[in-house]
Amino acid sequence: MIKQKRNGELIIISGTTCAGKGTVIGELLKRNDNLTLAISYTSRQMRAGEVEGVDYKFISHEEFEKKIENGDFLEYAKVRYGEYFGTPKEEVNELLKTGKDVILEIDVQGAQQIKEKFPETILIFIMAPSMTEVKRRIKARGKENNEQIIDRFKTAYKEINEINKYNYVVVNDEVENAVTKIEAILISEKCRVDRIEEISVENEEEIIHEFLVEKEFDNTPFTLEMEKND
């Protein structure tokens, strides 16, 4: 009876530094065939170990700015050091039309840009269990000096203050738990009444309804054969 909307859902996943967003998203993609990750464009140089079209789509500053002029991005930002990052509009729209649920892994600023254009977007914010755990994870990576660690902490506190702009918050204490929670969120979103396109009634159900109205609930036994003979 219920016909769901054909287009897929747009899902934004953001989070603080070292919240484990990438790991959680990777597990979600492994476990759910209908989920796909939109690949962002960036103007920065490819780093060791990164793969074109998997981590990002790498283009020059000039190419990126041309795409901005053409309106090719759902959202974009110019971050520190002057590098651009952006979510491609056409690629995302095409995936949604096929019924795929599309994940965007973007920051708070980008999430708000998209939410303004697409109010039905599902916004999920991932957090580490504590800032002490964040500190431990940063140090375990061994990639940042003290100044960079302090800068990451400042950014994390600013992002945490934006949680009220999201629909859901998930604490990533264990990856399995976080993935299960997000899957539950997505299932519940699919069941929302405002995501139903239409409700239709089959022929046999229409016959039953007409019989009940005509007989005024007089307790007459009902069969489809009886209705066909009336």
The reported pTM is 0.81
Whether residue 62 is found in the same domain as residue 107: yes
pLDDT at 207: 57
Nearest 5°: CA angle at 178, between 13 and 10? 30
**Same-domain check for residues 110 and 215:** no
Question: In terms of domains, do 137 and 205 share one?
Answer: no
In this prediction, residue 145 carries a pLDDT of 81
Q: How many distinct structural domains can be found in the chain?
A: 2
Domain co-membership, 168 together with 208: no
Same domain for 108 and 175, yes or no, is: yes
Q: What does the pLDDT read at residue 160?
A: 87
| Shared domain check, 218 and 106 | no
Same domain, 168 and 118: yes
Q: Are residues 97 and 184 in the same domain?
A: yes
Q: 84 with 42: CB under 8 angstroms?
A: yes
Are residue 190 and residue 130 in the same domain, yes or no?
yes
Q: In this model, does residue 230 exceed pLDDT 60?
A: no
Q: What is the pLDDT of residues 22-47, one digit of tens each?
A: 999 999 999 999 999 999 999 999 98
Output phi, psi for 210, to 5 deg: -65, -40
Greater pLDDT, 12 or 205: 12
Q: What is the CATH number of the domain that holds 41?
A: 3.40.50.300
The Cα 101–Cα 84 span in angstroms is: 25
pLDDT the model gives residue 4: 60
Residues 14 and 116 reside in one and the same domain: yes
Ranges 15-19, 127-131, 183-187, most confident: 183-187
What's residue 191's pLDDT?
A: 86
Question: What is the four-CA torsion angle of 219, 221, 227, 230, rounded to 10 degrees?
Answer: -70
- Averaged pLDDT of the chain: 86
Q: For residues 45 and 118, state if they share a domain.
A: yes
The pLDDT assigned to 37 comes to 97
- The verdict on 103 and 34 lying in the same domain is yes
Range with the lowest mean pLDDT among 64-68, 89-93, 160-164? 160-164
Tell me the residue range of the domain where 223 lies. 200-229
Look at residue 42 in the predicted model and tell me its pLDDT. Answer: 97
Report how far residue 193's alpha carbon sits from residue 191's, in angstroms, rounded to the nearest whole number: 6
